[in-house]
Structure 1
Amino acid sequence: VAVDASGNVYVADQENDRIQKFTSGGLFLAKWGSFGSGDGQFNEPRGVAVDAAGNVYVADYGNDRIQKFASGGAP
């Protein structure tokens, strides 16, 4: 779980191979990702972090990599 400067919450949904984004109040905003090894795909995402610029970093455990996204999910 990570929180950006605006208070939005990012959750690594390991079971569904995706990232979900919520407001600080819990309202759903966006999701991205699916199972696979291509760009924007995940195999057991286990961690998420956000930098000061709002970029989202995902620890893609099953694919042995870190992926970087814009805050809305674009690679």
Structure 2
Amino acid sequence: MIGEDGPASTSVVPSRRSRRGPPSKLERQLDAVAQLPKGEQKMVSELIDAMLTRYHAQAGQESANAA
């Protein structure tokens, strides 16, 4: 039936895309992460946060050393 919310409809992730062309590898990975259980999503999110924090700390040190 059209409009019926069944099990298949819960696995559909709304599109975040606003540009043309195939999705990037990162977009495909984020879509896959969205399908994981919430606990697994949290672990991936924490890993991303740690990597970004490390990157920003290194970038800050590099700009301080350049001055």
TM-score, L = length of structure 1: 0.21
Larger Rg: 2
Higher relative helix content:
2
TM-score, L = length of structure 2: 0.23
